[in-house]
C-alpha cells in the first residue's frame, strides 16, 4: 500500500510539472508543485479506483476513476501519461480499457486551459462511442465535459 502511495504521489508531481506549461502553476519554495497532496484518500475511499498504466511492462501513467453514486455515473477523475508514451496509443488504449471495465454512465472533463486534453478526449470518446456523446460545461464551469453511456458487455 505504501509503495502505491509513493508511486502515485511521484506521478502526480510529474503531472503537475507537465501541466505547468499550460496552467502557469509555479513551484513552491521546497521545489514542489504540490503541497499537502493526500493521495491516500483516493486509495482508502471505496468510490475511487486507481490503476497504474503500463507500456512494455514499464510504468507509463495512472488513471483514477470515481464512482459518483448520487448521479449513477463513473467519472474519469485523473488521467496521466508520461510524455515518453504520448502519441503511441498508450493513453487511448488505457482509456478504452477503463471505459470497458465500468459499464454505465460516464463523464470525462478538462480545464479550459488544457486544450491538448480536450483534443485527446474528444477524439478518443468520439471513436469509442461512434460519436454518441454529449458535451457541456463542467459543473464548476472551468471547462468542457463529455458524457456518454457504455453498456457494452
What's the rounded mean pLDDT across residues 90-115?
Answer: 95
**Residue 63 DSSP SS3:** strand
The cell for 130 is: 461512434
Q: What is the CATH number of domain 2-150?
A: 3.40.630.30
pLDDT in tens, 54-85: 999 999 999 999 999 999 999 999 999 998 99
b/e burial code for range 87-112 (CB count within 10 A of at least 16 → b): eeebbbebbeebbeeeeebbbbbbbe
Q: What pLDDT score was predicted for residue 9?
A: 80
Which segments within the chain are labelled E, that is strand? Answer: 48-55, 58-68, 73-81, 104-109, 134-137, 144-150
What percent of the chain shows pLDDT beyond 70?
82
Query: What's the pTM value of the predicted model, to 2 decimals?
Result: 0.83
100's torsion region: left (phi>0), alpha (psi -120 to 50) or beta? alpha
Residue 139 CA to residue 67 CA, distance in Å, equals 16
Amino acid at each position: 500500500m505504501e509503495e502505491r502511495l509513493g508511486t502515485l504521489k511521484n506521478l502526480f508531481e510529474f503531472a503537475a510539472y507537465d501541466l505547468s506549461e499550460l496552467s502557469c502553476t509555479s513551484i513552491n519554495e521546497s521545489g514542489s508543485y504540490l503541497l499537502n497532496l493526500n493521495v491516500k484518500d483516493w486509495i482508502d475511499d471505496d468510490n475511487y479506483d486507481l490503476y497504474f498504466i503500463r507500456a512494455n511492462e514499464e510504468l507509463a501513467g495512472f488513471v483514477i476513476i470515481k464512482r459518483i453514486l448520487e448521479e449513477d455515473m463513473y467519472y474519469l477523475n485523473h488521467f496521466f501519461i508520461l510524455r515518453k508514451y504520448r502519441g503511441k496509443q498508450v493513453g487511448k488504449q488505457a482509456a478504452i480499457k477503463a471505459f470497458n471495465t465500468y459499464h454505465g454512465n460516464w463523464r470525462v472533463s478538462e480545464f479550459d486551459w488544457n486544450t491538448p486534453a480536450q483534443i485527446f478526449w474528444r477524439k478518443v470518446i468520439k471513436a469509442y462511442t461512434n460519436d454518441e456523446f454529449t458535451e457541456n460545461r463542467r459543473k464548476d464551469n472551468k471547462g468542457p465535459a463529455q458524457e456518454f453511456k457504455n453498456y457494452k458487455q
